[in-house]
Structure 1
Amino acid sequence: MAQDLQGYADSRDLKSFFEGTKKIFGPKHTAAGTLLAADNTILTEDYEIQNRWVEHFNTLLNRNSSAQQDFLRNVPQHPPQLWMSLPPTFREFDAALKQMRHGKAGTNIPTEFLTHGGLVLKTRLHSLILKAWEEKQAPNDWKDALLVTIFKKGDRRECGNYRGISLLSIAGKILARILLNRLQIVAEIILPESQCGFRPSRGTIDMIFCARQLQEKSKEQQKPIFNFYDLEKAFDSVPRTAMWSVLNRFGVPEPFVDMIKALHDGMTAKVIHQSNLSAPFPITCGLKQGCVMAPTLFSLYLAAMLYEVPHNNPGVEIKYRLDGGIFKLARLSSQRNTNTINVTELQYADDNAAVAHTQAELQESVDNFHAAYTCFGLTVNKAKTKILAQPRPGENTPVTNITMDGTTIECVKHFPYLGSILSTQSTSSKEIENRLQAGHTAYGRLSTRVFKNKDLTTHTKVMVYNTIIVSTLLYACETWTLYSRDLKKLEQFHQKKLRAIMKIKWNDYVSNTAVLERANITSIEAMIMKHRLRWSGHVVRMEDTRLPKKILFSELNTGDRPRAALCFDLKTQEIPQGS
């Protein structure tokens, strides 16, 4: 594998190079050798483990989940999008086929076979899709799933610490992609600005940036309290009947909904364990994790749920003005050109962070969201729902007593939000410690197979280091509040790993600048600056309706800014005061 990787690098075949790098990096976790039964006895035999997985998924995916009878009472009826009912054209089919990933198949027919099978094969498959569209029925092979497990965290013997992923047939995935391409057009009209999960030109950085900006602006003027919700098996617990009703309410016509139902109703699944298949069992609840439609369908369901949250739900009210310089705060004193919005939540798929300024407001927000989730048949995981209370500068973290359905919510000093750690002091020091640890772990996993491999050139090793290790190290660095002590730790990591890769010893008396020149790579400070400049330009070019842009050009609508607060913020961001 190392020789193949070097060959890809020499021939500048970057696609094969990065695919090979991914294979060398390998899976993060291996399969568990033992598993806990429902009564907590330890299972060791393969057939026992497979039966336990079947029992677990049979319970999880057939739970009695239902929405309240009048759950759509506050959701307005949108005009029907009748064009969605039209049969898919061959152009739509071909576009969906080109969007499919190669090397991904739940059956013996890979995507490449259909992509390169010629016009006759494509025409035949398109006609089968048209037949299914006309009959509103999908073949069983198109909707049935093979279930594999991916470990998340915690006890590896506990089934609840794994995520089940559905491996689906390519033909069914093409039909699902056609449906998704149409559904996304409607979703972009319906979904709230606070939802950035699995949407075009949006990502986790958008919401991390918004959360950190609210922290920093509130540190100047007041104190927000974040509340992070964790939904219990969110995708698996969506009531399907309620999901179809939500689509109808959002203007999705019945024939189109029938096609989505055809890929869900009557489906069965088999569990794969050690290459062995279990007996099939039915799945009657939830959305298929592994289906391309699932994230968008879930986001639409949550969008309907937000209508159940009162319009006056407490949040963080900001005033913004999109013209003028970011640091010219006087422009926000104008009553004519400023606008105000109330930021109540930050969403990325099923990750939801609610914000408020006081404990009383947060308690009201918790009650409102919990009632809305319950109304739509979703369950909040109280054990994983946390509060992050940010104090005023110089004050201790306030003691909170926020409850949800009689259970007191734990208040924490740090919380991992979308892979980035937020802290009560609104600094990034804890996050950078976490990034350094992740970087060390990633480097250790590749040390023997890549960085100490004699079949790879130094140039190739540096490419792998830059692709995997640096990317891991600098995740979400665009949003960091970076201090010199944090930057020093990052630079030390950078130099230590580069010297190890190039076998430069400290007593060789090679300067840090010379190390960077030999590796043909920049310093961490330069990389972070590049990331920030690129992100700043991206935010400024966003449409004026985007939440990250509004927050960047804003301040809190209430609260006092102490003297020199702006100067402090400039120093924090390491921006020259003369600029």
Structure 2
Amino acid sequence: MDPQKHPEECIELNKLCEEHIAKDLSNFERAVLLDEAEKGRSWKRAKSELTEFKERIPCLKNTNGVRCYSIDEMQSIIATFYTVLFKSNLPIYNERRGERRITRNFDFSEVKNAVKSMSRYTKPEKDGIPLELLRAEGEPLYQELATLYTQYLTECRVPEKWKQSLTELRYEQGDKEDLANYRPIMISPIRYKVFTRCILERIRTTLEEAQPVEQAGFRRNFSTLDHIVTCRRLIEASRVHRLPLIMTFVKYKNAFDSVEPAKVWEALEEQGVERIYVDVLRESYCGRTTVFHPFYNDIEVVVEKGLRQDDPISPHLFSACLEHVIRRCKWDNFGVNINGRRLNNLRFGSNIVLITDSPEDASEMLRRLDEEGSQCGLTIDTSKTKVMRNSFSSGTPVLLEGSSIEDVDGYVYLGSQLNMRNDLTEKMKRRRTDAFESIEIIVKNTENDKLRARLFNSTVLPALTYAGETWALTKSLEKQLLSIHVSLERRLLNLSQSQQIELNYADVRAMSKVKDVLLHVDEAKHRFAGYLMRAKDGRWSSATVRYEKKRLPGRPALKWADSLAHRNNVYDPNTLKIITCWTTIAQNREQWRRSWDPRKTNRAD
């Protein structure tokens, strides 16, 4: 068709083509998401893989705060910013090492396990070798890689290509025009990641044994819930016993990108890692370069410090370095007394909480942390570091280098909203928002009732009840949670509020086929409580749950363990005294599992 002779028809034809292309893309995306859902995989990951175009950075501010819109100026800002960020302040480590002796060669089973344990969404670097290719080749390739890895370990050298990486800039939060609010993610070669994962499996036990129970990040059998329940129990106990409590939430500036590798190797040797593994890791970090490609041209930057963000071993290296720092802070006399032990800090990766009973102690701990951390390249971000204190604490400000740290009424710690009243109202609002964001994806992509119900239970309920194991639910909060759940069911079934009112609640539940939210929370809490009572490693989550002290006169607020006690304590029918406490029952896994009864309530009627 000639556009000049039939302009209107061509315009209509172009519109129809665009509509059909958009429809085909939408159907393709929907089919992929449904396939991932049926296989029980992550929708979020699949959706990011389907994204064809990345949002471009519109403008950046230079060091003077002036907005720059041209690509050349923005590329110059990126090059300058990351050249300074990745510039080491320590001299190059050139000490001659002693004789290295390899304990044992890598075998194909180690490589096979390393490849299988890697996420299927692991991105290939510029060598273009995807993880699926390594998996498809199977045992012959694993054997060849094992031979090469043994050679690299014996000779303490790695290929030069492994020292080159691509870096993606991912926006986190804050001002989009400030480069400090973007996280640089270095994408290393797949074969390098397999190599470091093999090393990690050999040194993991040594690294974890060097970590105290205060560190819960990137450790087996620990989770965010351990620290969240510890914080909630501390707040709860301080309210009941009217004790001062100050929690200082410390944030570092670009923690992973600023740490000095020389200090990391020093920490590894201090914590007992075999020298041969330290040396080969040190070699892989020498002479690194990375390439940014935010626009059209490559920006190459020399990397002298920082840890690779996508490297499986990096979180463990950072934890080792942070432990190296905190050992030198000498905080033994600070903190709060929990059953004869001093609790003065909690760590999850780079997230640190300092726990004290006076602002003066908090200031001193913060000063020591900053002083020791600065020697390893770590700088405390005073704008993001916050202090939360209860009403029984002194109002004296917490100071760092003469500047006071901002006091806040609430803080989002590890995804959970904390405040000194243990009020869950604000948290319920956050959970409601997250749950409705999750349900919209389900409603838009599938009409299969059975699949909808399964996705609701696996994605929406966890979003609504994140950290529900740590909640102490009052009757009012239970009603609020149930109300949110009813609204979600209505959205799932595409019912109006008037239609739902006309129906019986049991009929709506039969139509939606989803799990009851209160039952879900109670069951998860029951399971988590048993896990805490059976823990024998001295973790603070178990210690704070067991913490008891003679309470003051007056009716106390609802405690975390009250619902567990009401459901599971065994009483003498004549004297109504406790024969067996729930904490004793929970130490036996089978007995605790049998004690779960969904018909029981959380309180006396």
Bucket of the pairwise TM-score, normalised by the shorter protein: 0.7 to 0.9
Q: What is the aligned counterpart of 2:230 among 198, 201, 210?
A: 210
TM-score using structure 2 length: 0.81
Matched, 1:513 2:513: no
CA distance in structure 1 between the partners assigned to 2:560 and 2:134 by the alignment: 55
Q: What is the aligned counterpart of 1:528 among 514, 521, 541?
A: 521
Q: Does the CA contact (< 8 Å) of 2:216 and 2:222 recur in 1?
A: yes
Q: What is the aligned counterpart of 2:78 among 53, 58, 82?
A: 53
Instruction: State how 1:343-382 maps to structure 2 within 5 Å.
Output: 343-382=343-382
With CA pairs under 8 Å and 6+ residues apart, which has the higher RCO, 1 or 2?
1
> Given residue 282 of structure 2, which amino acid in structure 1 is its aligned partner?
K
CA distance in structure 1 between the partners assigned to 2:425 and 2:410 by the alignment: 11
**Deviates most, 343-352 or 418-427:** 418-427
TM-score using structure 1 length: 0.84
Q: Note the residue ranges of structure 2 that are not aligned, 5 or more in a row.
A: 1-24, 93-97, 570-605
CA distance in structure 2 between the partners assigned to 1:156 and 1:62 by the alignment: 24
Structure-2 change in CA distance of 1:488 and 1:289 (3 Å)? same
Structure-2 change in CA distance of 1:565 and 1:263 (3 Å)? farther
Aligned to 2:316: 296
Q: Does the CA contact (< 8 Å) of 1:66 and 1:376 recur in 2?
A: no
Matched, 1:265 2:286: yes
Q: Does the CA contact (< 8 Å) of 1:265 and 1:284 recur in 2?
A: yes
> Given residue 510 of structure 2, which amino acid in structure 1 is its aligned partner?
E
Give CA deviations for 1:228-275 in whole Å, capped at 9, x if unaligned: 11111111111111221221222223321111112211111011325x
Give CA deviations for 1:477-531 in whole Å, capped at 9, x if unaligned: 1112323332222222211121122122333311333222221112221111111
Structure-2 change in CA distance of 1:563 and 1:295 (3 Å)? same
1:128 offset after TM fit, Å?
2.0
Aligned to 2:406: 410
Aligned to 1:484: 475
CA distance in structure 2 between the partners assigned to 1:465 and 1:152 by the alignment: 27
Q: Does the CA contact (< 8 Å) of 1:483 and 1:572 recur in 2?
A: no
1:113 offset after TM fit, Å?
0.7
1:90 offset after TM fit, Å?
2.8
Aligned to 1:99: 117
Q: What RMSD over aligned residues (CA atoms) do the two structures have, in Å?
A: 3.0
User: Secondary structure of 1:226's match?
Assistant: strand
Aligned to 2:559: 569
Q: How many residues align?
A: 532
Give CA deviations for 1:156-184 in whole Å, capped at 9, x if unaligned: 12111111111111100011101111221
Q: Does the CA contact (< 8 Å) of 2:233 and 2:560 recur in 1?
A: no
User: Secondary structure of 1:496's match?
Assistant: helix
**Deviates most, 540-549 or 187-196:** 540-549
Q: Does the CA contact (< 8 Å) of 1:230 and 1:352 recur in 2?
A: yes
Instruction: State how 1:389-404 maps to structure 2 within 5 Å.
Output: 389-392=389-392, 399-404=395-400
Structure-2 change in CA distance of 1:514 and 1:398 (3 Å)? farther
User: Secondary structure of 1:38's match?
Assistant: coil
1:38 offset after TM fit, Å?
3.3
> Given residue 425 of structure 2, which amino acid in structure 1 is its aligned partner?
S
Instruction: State how 1:435-514 maps to structure 2 within 5 Å.
Output: 435-443=431-439, 446=441, 450-453=442-445, 456-508=447-499, 509-514=502-507
Q: What is the aligned counterpart of 1:427 among 417, 423, 430?
A: 423
Q: Does the CA contact (< 8 Å) of 2:45 and 2:121 recur in 1?
A: no
Structure-2 change in CA distance of 1:430 and 1:313 (3 Å)? farther
1:417 offset after TM fit, Å?
0.9
CA distance in structure 2 between the partners assigned to 1:382 and 1:241 by the alignment: 26
**Deviates most, 88-97 or 206-215:** 88-97
> Given residue 144 of structure 1, which amino acid in structure 2 is its aligned partner?
Q
CA distance in structure 1 between the partners assigned to 2:274 and 2:377 by the alignment: 23
Instruction: State how 1:61-76 maps to structure 2 within 5 Å.
Output: 61-64=86-89
**Deviates most, 364-373 or 142-151:** 364-373
Q: Does the CA contact (< 8 Å) of 2:334 and 2:356 recur in 1?
A: yes
Instruction: State how 1:28-427 maps to structure 2 within 5 Å.
Output: 30-46=55-71, 48-64=73-89, 85-107=103-125, 108-221=128-241, 222-273=243-294, 276=296, 278-319=298-339, 340-392=340-392, 399-427=395-423
CA distance in structure 1 between the partners assigned to 2:191 and 2:133 by the alignment: 11
Q: Note the residue ranges of structure 1 that are not aligned, 5 or more in a row.
A: 68-79, 320-339
CA distance in structure 2 between the partners assigned to 1:577 and 1:460 by the alignment: 33
CA distance in structure 2 between the partners assigned to 1:493 and 1:345 by the alignment: 35
1:311 offset after TM fit, Å?
4.7
CA distance in structure 2 between the partners assigned to 1:134 and 1:438 by the alignment: 50
CA distance in structure 2 between the partners assigned to 1:413 and 1:236 by the alignment: 30
Q: Does the CA contact (< 8 Å) of 1:149 and 1:164 recur in 2?
A: yes
1:50 offset after TM fit, Å?
4.1
Q: What is the aligned counterpart of 2:41 among 8, 13, 18?
A: 18
> Given residue 395 of structure 2, which amino acid in structure 1 is its aligned partner?
V
Structure-2 change in CA distance of 1:365 and 1:128 (3 Å)? same
Q: Does the CA contact (< 8 Å) of 2:33 and 2:46 recur in 1?
A: no
User: Secondary structure of 1:384's match?
Assistant: coil
1:418 offset after TM fit, Å?
1.0
| Identity level (%) | 22
Structure-2 change in CA distance of 1:387 and 1:83 (3 Å)? farther
1:360 offset after TM fit, Å?
3.2
User: Secondary structure of 2:566's match?
Assistant: coil
